[in-house]
């Protein structure tokens, strides 16, 4: 996931003729664990499905990079 985020950030910065620098900071956010195929809305405090056998997890991570 960090590699994908770095590639996307590089593309954004290059459109402004800049260069992406080193990773400065990484913070983990909310965990959303729902049953597969669930249509449950995301929750600010997270979701933790304890009933479904098959689950889907979505984890929010915020990465901050330096700009060169």
Which DSSP string corresponds to 11-46? HHHHTTT--EEEEEEEEEEEEEEEETT--PPP-TT-
Q: Is the pLDDT of residue 29 over 80?
A: yes
Q: 63 or 34, which is more confident?
A: 63
Q: Residue 45: which pLDDT band, with cuts at 50, 70 and 90? A: low
Q: Is the pLDDT of residue 33 over 70?
A: yes
User: Nearest Cα to 46, choosing from 64, 58, 62, 54?
Assistant: 58
DSSP class of 51: S
């Amino acid at each position: 996931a960090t590699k994908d985020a770095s590639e996307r950030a590089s593309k954004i910065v290059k459109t402004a003729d800049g260069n992406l620098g080193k990773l400065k900071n990484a913070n983990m956010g909310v965990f959303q664990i729902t049953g597969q195929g669930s249509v449950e809305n995301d929750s600010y405090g997270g979701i933790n499905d304890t009933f479904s056998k098959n689950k889907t997890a979505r984890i929010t991570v915020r990465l901050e990079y330096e700009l060169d």
